[in-house]
């Protein structure tokens, strides 16, 4: 039996999620901050982590944004082989984003064109959407992220020479964190994509950010690399 996903279902899910995402730190991130606080031995580091935990509590209880940068909207729809998507399933997402940002009084940061027209669109659209097929019967999941400009500015795509190997990846990643770490809001959650073409690897890295921070990779070889990094 096929599952049918409609544009109104996607739009409704986006509309409902945006105010919650802006004001509630995900449980795995909040737990990660608490775990980091438990092992941090630097007084300044402990103080910052305490402030982050307190900020998350205030935002959740008072229903105010966690950060003044309420991000651009990234939506990724995962669909299984027996899930039917009719037409442009993201057709109504921009309208949902505009309504949610206006009604929740969230900051609108998107410009019309990165180079030729830097005027603000006024409603935080367009959203950035993609469909991701998965080999999982019945799967129909919408991942949504409010991606802040500071974190996106810390992104990097690097094409390593074939002989760089694993150590080249490790060196490049640590170099990136050293160079960008002070320019994006800490603590950093680093999404890494390796392999494929340059236009695909950035998507892999962004999707990696949707995995719970305390969930290791299923492949034991990848898990060992994650622990090393």
Q: What residue spans define the domains of the chain?
A: 1-24+66-147, 149-229
134: tokens are 């998965």
Whether 221 shows a pLDDT value over 80: the answer reads yes
Q: In angstroms, rounded to a whole number, what is the distance separating the alpha carbons of residues 202 and 211?
A: 15
Residue of 151, 150, 102 lying closest to 124 (CA atoms): 102
Going across the sheet that includes 72-79, the strands are 128-133, 72-79, 140-147
pLDDT digits (tens, 9 = 90+) for 19-58: 999 999 999 999 999 999 999 999 999 999 999 999 999 9
What DSSP state is assigned to residue 142? E
SS3 129: strand
Q: Are 25 and 92 in contact (CB under 8 A)?
A: no
Average pLDDT over residues 160-178: 91
Residue of 34, 36, 32, 30 lying closest to 56 (CA atoms): 30
Give the Cα-Cα-Cα angle 22, 26, 28 (nearest 5 degrees): 160
């Amino acid at each position: 039996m096929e599952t049918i996903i409609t544009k109104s279902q996607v739009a409704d899910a986006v509309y409902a999620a945006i105010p919650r995402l802006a004001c509630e730190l995900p449980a795995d991130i909040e737990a990660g901050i608490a775990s980091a606080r438990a092992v941090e031995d630097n007084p300044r580091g402990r103080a910052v982590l305490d402030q982050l935990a307190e900020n998350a509590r205030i935002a959740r209880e008072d229903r105010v944004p966690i950060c003044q940068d309420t991000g651009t909207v990234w939506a990724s729809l995962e669909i299984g082989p027996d899930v039917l998507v009719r037409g442009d399933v993201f057709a109504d997402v921009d309208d949902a984003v505009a309504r949610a940002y206006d009604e929740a009084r969230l900051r609108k940061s998107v410009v019309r064109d990165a180079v030729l027209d830097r005027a603000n669109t006024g409603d935080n659209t367009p959203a950035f959407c993609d469909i991701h097929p998965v080999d999982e019967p019945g799967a129909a999941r919408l991942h949504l992220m409010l991606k802040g400009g500071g974190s996106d500015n810390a992104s990097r795509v690097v094409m390593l020479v074939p002989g760089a190997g694993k150590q080249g990846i490790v060196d490049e990643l640590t170099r990136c964190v050293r160079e960008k770490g002070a320019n994006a809001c800490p603590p950093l959650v680093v999404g890494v994509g390796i392999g494929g073409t340059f236009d695909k690897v950035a998507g892999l890295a962004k999707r990696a950010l949707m995995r719970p921070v305390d969930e290791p990779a299923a492949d034991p070889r990848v898990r060992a690399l994650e622990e090393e990094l």
